[in-house]
Structure 1
């Protein structure tokens, strides 16, 4: 999907933290010209270098989760992959799949600079 299709999807979104979703989406897209986006899991997903790398998960509607992943398939090097989240924003389900969660607009806004720095490093890992 194109950015216009994501725009249309988000225009219809019913979510308690929609302003934060819109703000973070815009910040992520503006952070690097290498990003494109589409809808995945009924939410914006960001592609970098041809791979899905960062995806919003917007259910339940009382929080925002941002999933850091390395594409749609498990990679052969997953067991040996190492990534240092020096900001401590993510909870790591596996070494190559992290989840950043925000329960309020304020928390998302306050963490935005650290989140963008984390994402910038993540998509190049």
Structure 2
């Protein structure tokens, strides 16, 4: 895995995410913060920044973006960054024993949370998915 961080702009910082969240008016702001903490705590190699006008997360490439426009909840889009990658047939292979992932493409999936209680119930499985997903980035 390439451990060089190629992200050095002002948007690729925790400070940028903090500023975005301060200015954000969203009914699920608490859940956004819970998601943020869970993703950052999942692995020490994970950093954050603002990408696509939303809190986003990376190792050496961005791999997760909060979906602030999710209807009736808050979403997280898992992806492999902006570059097209050659994948094995069937796409990204991650264990999802709880069926939390909704596949959007072979290299992209979404997860939705409807409340703090929903997030807390799914948090251990969510963290396991993040740890599994970053192995493919």
Q: What are the ranges of 5 or more consecutive residues in structure 1 without an aligned counterpart? A: none
* Structure 2 partner of 1:66: 76
Structure 1's 91 and 61: CA in aligned 2 closer, same or farther, altered over 3 A?
closer
**Structure 1 residue 62, shift from structure 2 partner:** 3.7
Equivalent of 1:8 in 19, 32, 36:
19
Q: CA offsets, 1:46-102, max 9 Å, x none?
A: 011x11111111014642110110111221226553413222111001222100011
- Cα separation, 1, equivalents of 2:33 and 2:126: 15
Equivalent of 2:36 in 22, 25, 35:
25
Structure 1's 88 and 73: CA in aligned 2 closer, same or farther, altered over 3 A?
same
- Cα separation, 2, equivalents of 1:78 and 1:38: 29
Residue pair 2:42, 2:130 contacting (<8 A) in 1 also: no
Aligned-residue RMSD, C-alpha: 1.6
Q: Which has the higher strand share?
A: 1
Structure 1's 61 and 87: CA in aligned 2 closer, same or farther, altered over 3 A?
closer
- Cα separation, 1, equivalents of 2:76 and 2:29: 14
**Structure 1 residue 41, shift from structure 2 partner:** 2.2
SS of alignment partner, residue 75 of structure 1: coil
* Structure 1 partner of 2:93: 83
* Structure 2 partner of 1:37: 48
Q: What are the ranges of 5 or more consecutive residues in structure 2 without an aligned counterpart? A: 1-10
Name the TM-score, length of structure 2 as normaliser: 0.82
SS of alignment partner, residue 22 of structure 1: helix
4+ residue runs of structure 1 moved beyond 4 angstroms?
none
Structure 1's 62 and 42: CA in aligned 2 closer, same or farther, altered over 3 A?
farther
Name the TM-score, length of structure 1 as normaliser: 0.89
